[in-house]
Structure 1
Amino acid sequence: MATNAAKRNHLMQTLNGWLEPDRFQDYCPNGLQVEGKSEIRHIVSGVTASQALIDEAIYVGADMILVHHGYFWKGEDQRIQGMKRARIKALMSHDINLVAYHLPLDDHPEYGNNRQLAKILDIRDAAPLDGLVWAGNLAKALSPPAFAAHLQLCLDREPLVVGSGPDTIKRVAWCTGAAQGYITKALEAGVDAFISGEISEPTTHTARECGIHYFAAGHHATERYGVQALGEALAREFGLTHQFIDCDNPV
């Protein structure tokens, strides 16, 4: 474990400086969601602040949990009872800080989910296309089945494939997570394929009728990488230890 310790408030200033959460109108509060101990030595990162992740963080002696999906979403029941009570009680009983960044982490040009997915998939010239949607080029053109196999190999998850487009795929657009609605932006850009995490019923018809290959590669599977990159960067910055804990989710 790390011998270095950093003040929580200093870490939060750094994270907020990197991610600029005030620029976003999000569905949840970004930053420190549950306050724990004031000194941080060991950071655990994960996609979602589930009970399984909290339990693992307690087991390894984490001082801070850094996630993409935290708590207090708009529209959810505000009462702290049941599952929410159990999670928050576990955090507070062990004095663990919970830090979450949603849209600011999707959007970040270096640590963001979209940037990191491009690295994992070896997509070249990756850059924002429109808002949270990114676009880039494959190293070489692939047939749709070959590209599906590439996704499965890189993400360890078989994608759901729908639609019909060009015989080969070279230019792609993507947005991680529940971004299926952005397929219209991909169509407007004239790319060969669009990748997101989740799919919905209307997305299938859009892909079929508008001539584009669509790959639903998994919400969890496409969003593993941003929070890892952010945790590693924070650990380097302050000389702390960091580990990513992957709690499997088939969605």
Structure 2
Amino acid sequence: MSVLLQELLRHCDRTLSTARFKDYCPNGLQVEGRPRVARLAAAVTANQSVLDAAVEWGADALIVHHGYFWRGEDQQIVGMKRRRLATLLSAEMSLLAYHLPLDAHPVLGNNAQWGQRMGFEGSEPLDADDPAAVGNVGRLSSAMPLQDVASRIESLTGREPMIIGDLSESVERVAWCTGAAQGYIEKAAAAGAQLYISGEISEPTVHAARELGIAYIAAGHHATERYGVQALAGSLAETFELQWTFIDCDNPV
């Protein structure tokens, strides 16, 4: 089966409520390809290796979390950007990208999917005052040592996380936000979390965790954001009877 590209886009906009978000990049169609989509590829980031793999697979469209045209980037179409766009245009392959809307969706989103895979219960918004905010607070089914949570993360992601805190410390209330969300650690502490998990870590995060008295785990930006785009692509494939595949690209960050 196949679907009109515009129908696919309308469905994504409705599903992800894209109009609610003021984002750092355009959400939705970033590069237009063929008017119909039968084969949909999904990936975290639209880098060159992903584009090449999607073309080789015969994708009509590629849907990602990290696309192009970020606020403040150089507007010239040269070098790496030219090569990427040339690949899309020569293959007539559309590029769809959903950033904050995909982080925030309560079922298909990166944070919802991360919490589900980690077995967190009772999810609530990290910032209840902002309807477009990302991040969640929940709990483990029972308290467990920080080391055991880290081991669960390593089993899920296939990579060793970075841990700040006493590995023997027992934690139960957990806050999390996938990707580059280390700056939300103060919100996590204010929400009463004993542990905060994000994708990336930065130098100030270590000091904040120690001074706020909260354990912290950096599980990887790419590693924590593999699941939302897979859930979205799978849902689209089921709705419109499409063929789909996930293209993973190793990234240690």
CA shift, 1:146, in A, is 1.3
Candidates 98, 102, 106, aligned match of 1:105: 102
The Cα of 1:166 is off from its aligned counterpart by: 8.5
2: CA distance between counterparts of 1:248 and 1:227? 16
Structure 1 residue runs of 4 or more that deviate by more than 2 Å after TM superposition:
163-167
Structure 1 residue 177 corresponds to structure 2 residue 179? yes
State the alpha-carbon separation in 1 of the partners of residues 134 and 88 from structure 2. Answer: 31
**Letter of the 1:53 counterpart:** V
Query: What per-residue deviation string (whole Å, max 9, x for no partner) do you get for residues 18-52 of structure 1?
Result: 11211111000000000000010000000000001
Asked if the contact 1:165/1:211 (under 8 Å) is kept, the reply is: no
1:140, distance to aligned residue in structure 2 (A): 2.2
Per mean C-alpha deviation after superposition, the further-off stretch among 121-130 and 153-162 is 121-130
Tell me which residue corresponds to 2:238: 236
Consecutive unaligned residues of structure 2, counting only runs of 5 or more, are 128-132
Q: Which amino acid aligns with 1:86?
A: R
Which whole-Å deviations, capped at 9, do the CAs of 1:183-231 have from their partners, x for residues lacking one? 0001101111000000110010010121110000000000000000000
Query: % of aligned pairs identical?
Result: 52
Q: Which amino acid aligns with 1:230?
A: L
Give the superposition deviation at 1:129.
Answer: 2.5
TM-score (norm 2): 0.96
Match of 2:130 in 1: none
Which residue, out of 175, 185, 188, partners 1:186?
188
TM-score by length of 1: 0.96
1:235 maps to amino acid: A
Q: Which amino acid aligns with 1:168?
A: S
How much does 1:156 deviate?
1.2
Task: Output the aligned Cα RMSD.
Answer: 1.1
Residues paired across the two proteins, number:
248
Q: Distance in 1 between matches of 2:83 and 2:43?
A: 18
Which of 3, 7, 25 is residue 4 of structure 2 equivalent to? 7
Report the Cα offset of residue 145 of structure 1. 1.2
Gaps of 5+ in 1: none
Decide which of 203, 211, 224 is 1:201's aligned counterpart.
203
Tell me the secondary structure at the aligned position of residue 177 of structure 1.
coil
| Matches of 1:7 and 1:60, distance apart in 2 | 20
